[in-house]
Structure 1
C-alpha cells in the first residue's frame, strides 16, 4: 500500500530528527484517515486487535506515530503475503 509506506517513511525521517516532537491535530487526522481505511481491509485478520488509531486528545510524539504506522505496515505485509504470496525484497507491498 503505497500511501501507508510513504507515510511511514515520512514519519520515520521526522522521528530520527525529533523523536519527541508533538504531532499536530491536523496530522493526526490525516494519519487516522489512512489507518481507518487500512483497518477496513484488515477487519477479519487476527492482527486487527493489535492495531490502534491515534488519539487526537493524547497529542502523540513522532516516534509514537512511527511505531503505530510500522505495526500497520507489518500487518499489511502479512495480509498481502497471506492472500497474494509475495512481498518484495525491500518489504514493499
Structure 2
C-alpha cells in the first residue's frame, strides 16, 4: 500500500460516510444487475434515477480529491438510461470506491482502520 501524505488523507467524517454509502452502492448495483438480466434494454423510471443519483452524488463528494472522479458520471435524468447503462455506471463507482478504500484503509497498529487527517499514524 502506498503511503499517503496527511494532506491527502480523508477526514473521519468522510470515512464514516464511506462506510454508510458503500453497502448502499452494493445493494443498488446488485438490484440493477438483476433488472438488467431480466430486461437489459429496459429504461429506468425517474424515481430510480433520482434515488441512484442522490447516492452517486454523495459518493462523488467523498471521492472528490481522488483522480477517479474525472471518470465518474451520474445517470442522465432527462434521457433516462437503460438498465445496462446503470449497471456500467454503478460498477465504475464501485471500482472507484474500492480503489479509495485500498488507499486509505488497512491494518495499522494492530487493528483495521482508516488512515484519516485526525488519525494518520501508520
- TM-score normalised by the chain length of structure 1: 0.89
Unaligned runs of 5+ in 1: 87-93
Query: How large is the RMSD of aligned CA atoms in angstroms?
Result: 1.0
Identify the residue that residue 25 of structure 2 maps to in structure 1. Answer: 4
- What is the alpha-carbon distance in structure 1 between the residues aligned to residue 64 and residue 77 of structure 2? 22
Report deviation, 1:85.
Answer: 3.5
Identify the residue that residue 17 of structure 1 maps to in structure 2. Answer: 38
How many residues align? The count is: 86
Structure 2 counterpart of 1:75, from 67, 92, 96: 96
Identify the residue that residue 45 of structure 1 maps to in structure 2. Answer: 66
- What is the alpha-carbon distance in structure 1 between the residues aligned to residue 100 and residue 88 of structure 2? 18
- What is the alpha-carbon distance in structure 2 between the residues aligned to residue 59 and residue 66 of structure 1? 13
Unaligned runs of 5+ in 2: 1-21, 108-122
Higher helix share: 1
